[in-house]
Structure 1
Amino acid sequence: MGWSIRRAVAADADRIGEITVAGWRHAYRGIVDDERLDALDAGEIAEVRRAAIAAPEPMAVFVAEDEQGRVQGYCIVGPPREPEPSDDGAAVLYTLYLDPAVIGTGAGGALHDAGVAHLAAAGFARATLWVYTANTGAQSFYAHRGWRVDGEPYQGPGWSAPATRWALDLR
């Protein structure tokens, strides 16, 4: 299957909300409480994603379109929201979600590569992301692309489960 990767526009936000809900329910069942997964609201998520789409550079939202032009996945990358001294200004891969029906088709890798290339072109030397520690599928995906574990598992306030930070050198 061929994938087209492009920058998201505001009109993509509703589909992105749907993908987020489907992605969370697929990837996090058994990791995140069912009550939280069942309460996810695609409309609320779409509003948050609209703000990310409208954010200034170097924040960026990319979408993967299938051959019929339907958005089937997305990723969000950008500067850290709250820099930590140990981050040295590292960029962040905030989210990467696919419609579960297209997992394993190359859409995730294409989105990942577009996001990482954007961060490198923006001048970042390093990127970080957080993965739920129990999400072995995501860990394998990122490890295959050169990411490495960058710290011990941590569960921040309001987090659904422990997560581990991963890092990637962009230069």
Structure 2
Amino acid sequence: MTVADAAAVAKIHVAAWQHAYRGLVSQRFLDSLSISERTAKLTRSLRQVGPVRTIVAESDGQVVGFATVGPARDEDSSTDDAELFAIYVDPARVRLGAGRALLSRAKEVAREMGCRRMILWVLKDNASARAFYKRCGMRQEATRGTSTIAGDDFVKMKYSARL
């Protein structure tokens, strides 16, 4: 991902959240998500040097999805664990292969970083995402506490795969 991709990625991120979390997360919160604020945040983060990488999927020259991977943040993770922090596809392009391609490339990036395992966290109530990860060979490991989104607590599930 480059700075030139930030606006397209931000648009996908907001649309994907509004699609994937409809009925799970407060609609008021989803409606408040801002593409311009997300673009600014992405642009700032791209200018920082670090081990986190965001990759994009393109179709016909347009960004249709993205994934972000870096060193795992869990206190129980080892130094050879990578974490998939985000993976989102334009809701109009879901189930056309971009998500699977992004996950595959994220695993390659993790291997290039010297990692041997990838983990990710997903909301327990996000059945479609959990099914996607399972189809892609990720295994459910555990639950761990909650994530708070818009003042509501959600149980998170941990998934992993050997690289």
Cα offsets for 1:28-79 (capped at 9, x unmatched): 0011111111111111112222244344353211111112x01111111111
1:140 aligns with 2:131: yes
> Within 5 Å, which residues of 2 pair with 1:1-171?
8-56=1-49, 58-67=51-60, 69-80=61-72, 82-84=73-75, 86-89=76-79, 90-157=81-148, 161-170=154-163
Which structure has greater strand proportion?
2
How many aligned positions are there?
160
Change in CA separation of 1:79 and 1:52 when aligned onto 2, cut-off 3 Å: farther
Given the two structures, how large is their TM-score scaled by the length of structure 1?
0.86
Given the two structures, how large is their TM-score scaled by the length of structure 2?
0.90
Superposed CA RMSD: 1.7
Query: Gaps spanning 5+ residues in structure 1: where?
Result: 1-7
- Contact 2:6-2:42 within 8 A present in 1 as well: yes
Change in CA separation of 1:147 and 1:154 when aligned onto 2, cut-off 3 Å: same
Query: Gaps spanning 5+ residues in structure 2: where?
Result: none
1:140 Cα deviation from its structure 2 partner: 1.1
